[in-house]
Structures are given as structure tokens and as C-alpha cells.
């Protein structure tokens, strides 16, 4: 009886260990095949799409990027959205999530500083040479990203206030959910003009730089989301963005090296 009991125990242990080994191998295989999920601010849509291609070629791993306003993405992460990396358009959103324990400690890094442009549709009769032209009577509607959750919207509001234009144009303002949505409002003719990130100015619009002294520096930061099952790959992506190739790509889209505007 003792012998049978001993054999049964050994068999049970073997089965248990085999099951654990299989589960670990399965989890490893799933981790290898799972795409790296990035939550990225809308101003990054062109730069990060190019980075996505290069990173996938270099690592052989798939990347999936969700673009939206920084505030919307931050709220999603706060509510448990399973992203691996969060690239925000303003460092304050990263700091807030870090304080809440939603990000992996010590992974926060500055990766760029953004710039504003005043834009109008190329098919429009409106001619803009500076932000002051937004007060002209021919400009009926001005699109900016919602300042409540979009960093570029916050910066646009600051620029209008510091330029002494806010009271003159506030009744003309319409709000996009993000800078990408704001650009679409101008490109489709729903607004004669708008203020967006320089990084997303396309051939559909014509842009004029906004003096960076009219707003606080748009310091952009990123970090790894707490709970990720792909921390090593996530760290590799962050290193790519902040590395030589990533920084060169960002600068080609109108971003600046962190701290260069100070």
C-alpha cells in the first residue's frame, strides 16, 4: 500500500510538472507572437508609423499603435487598458499616472518637444502669415484641440492668450478631440484655420510656425505601462525612440531634442 501511494504521488508530481512546463512554454509562445501595443498621442501619428515599420524590421515583432489625445489615452490606462507603452504629448500625464502606480517605476523618459503651427486649407481664400491673422474677419472658425485633454490644445490656448487674441477669437473656436481631428476640421473646410502640431501638417494645408515663446514648452514623455507582459520588448521600443535613429526621425517631423527650447 505504501508503495502504491508513493508511486501515485510520483505520477501526480510528474503530471503536475509536465502541465506547468507546457503552460510556461505556451505562455512564452504567446508572448513571442503577441504584438507590442503602444498608446501614442495624435501628434505622433506620422513619425511613429515610420518608426513602427523600422522597429518591426529590426526585431521581427509586430507593433500595434493606437493614436488619440493624450488625456483620453491616460484615462484608458488609468482604467486598466492593456497597453505596453504610453507615449504622451505632455509629461504631466505621465507623472500623474506614475504617482497612481499605473506605470513601471523609473521607466519615464523625455523623448521630444513639440511645436505649434497655424494652418489653413490650401483651397481656402484665407491667407495666414502669423497667429495674429486669426483675428481677421475673413476667418470665421478656428479649430484647436480640446484644451481639457489635449496638450496641443492647451498650448494653442496659451499662445492665443499670450498673443492677446483670446478675447478676440474665442467665439470663433471649435474643438477637435485631438490635433489629428483638428487638422481634419481645417482640411475639410469645416474651419478656415486652426492651430495644430507642426508634426502633422500635411500637403492638404499650409502652415505657419507659432512663436514658441507664446506657450509653455510641449515636453513629451513616455513610459512602460504597469502590468505589461512584454517589458523587455517595451524597453527596446523606448530605447529605439530615444536612440539616434528614433531621434533623427522625430526631428525630421518637426520635433525638437528634449530641453532644446529652454
Residue 104 backbone dihedrals phi, psi, to 5 degrees: -65, 125
Question: Is the Cβ–Cβ distance between 260 and 133 less than 8 Å?
Answer: no
What count of other Cβ atoms lies within 10 Å of the Cβ of residue 148?
A: 11
Is 205 labelled a binding residue? no
Residue carrying C-alpha cell 505562455: 27
Question: Is the Cβ–Cβ distance between 110 and 259 less than 8 Å?
Answer: yes
User: In sequence order, which residues have a C-beta less than 8 Å from that of residue 89 and are 6 or more positions away?
Assistant: 41, 42, 43, 44, 70, 114, 150, 151, 152, 197, 218, 220
Tell me how far apart the terminal alpha carbons of the chain are, to the nearest angstrom: 81
User: In sequence order, which residues have a C-beta less than 8 Å from that of residue 128 and are 6 or more positions away?
Assistant: 118, 119, 120, 134, 193, 206, 208
Is 182 labelled a binding residue? no
Identify the DSSP state of 56. Answer: H
CB-based burial label for 106 (10 Å; 0-12, 13-18, 19+): exposed
Residue ranges at the known binding site for molybdate: 70, 179
Residue ranges at the known binding site: 70, 179
Amino acid at each position: 500500500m505504501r508503495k502504491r501511494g508513493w508511486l501515485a504521488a510520483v505520477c501526480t508530481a510528474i503530471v503536475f510538472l509536465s502541465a506547468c512546463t507546457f503552460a510556461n512554454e505556451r505562455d512564452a509562445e504567446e508572448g513571442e507572437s503577441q504584438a507590442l501595443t503602444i498608446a501614442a498621442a495624435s501628434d505622433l501619428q506620422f513619425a511613429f508609423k515610420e518608426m513602427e515599420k523600422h522597429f518591426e524590421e529590426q526585431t521581427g515583432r509586430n507593433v500595434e499603435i493606437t493614436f488619440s489625445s493624450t488625456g483620453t489615452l491616460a484615462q484608458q490606462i488609468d482604467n486598466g487598458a492593456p497597453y505596453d507603452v504610453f507615449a504622451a504629448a505632455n509629461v504631466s500625464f505621465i507623472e500623474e499616472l506614475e504617482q497612481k502606480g499605473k506605470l513601471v517605476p523609473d521607466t519615464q523618459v523625455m523623448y521630444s518637444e513639440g511645436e505649434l503651427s497655424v494652418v489653413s486649407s490650401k483651397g481656402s481664400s484665407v491667407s495666414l502669415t502669423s497667429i495674429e491673422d486669426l483675428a481677421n474677419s475673413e476667418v470665421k472658425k478656428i479649430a484647436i484641440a480640446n484644451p481639457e485633454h489635449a496638450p496641443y490644445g492647451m498650448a494653442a490656448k496659451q499662445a492665443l492668450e499670450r498673443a492677446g487674441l483670446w478675447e478676440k477669437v474665442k467665439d470663433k473656436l471649435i474643438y477637435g478631440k485631438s490635433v489629428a481631428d483638428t487638422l481634419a476640421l481645417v482640411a475639410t473646410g469645416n474651419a478656415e484655420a486652426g492651430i495644430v502640431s507642426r508634426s502633422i501638417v500635411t500637403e492638404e494645408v499650409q502652415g505657419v510656425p507659432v512663436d514658441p515663446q507664446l506657450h509653455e514648452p510641449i515636453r513629451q514623455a513616455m513610459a512602460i505601462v504597469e502590468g505589461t507582459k512584454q517589458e523587455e520588448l517595451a524597453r527596446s521600443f523606448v530605447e529605439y525612440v530615444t536612440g539616434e535613429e528614433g531621434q533623427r526621425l522625430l526631428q525630421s517631423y518637426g520635433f525638437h531634442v528634449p530641453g532644446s527650447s529652454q
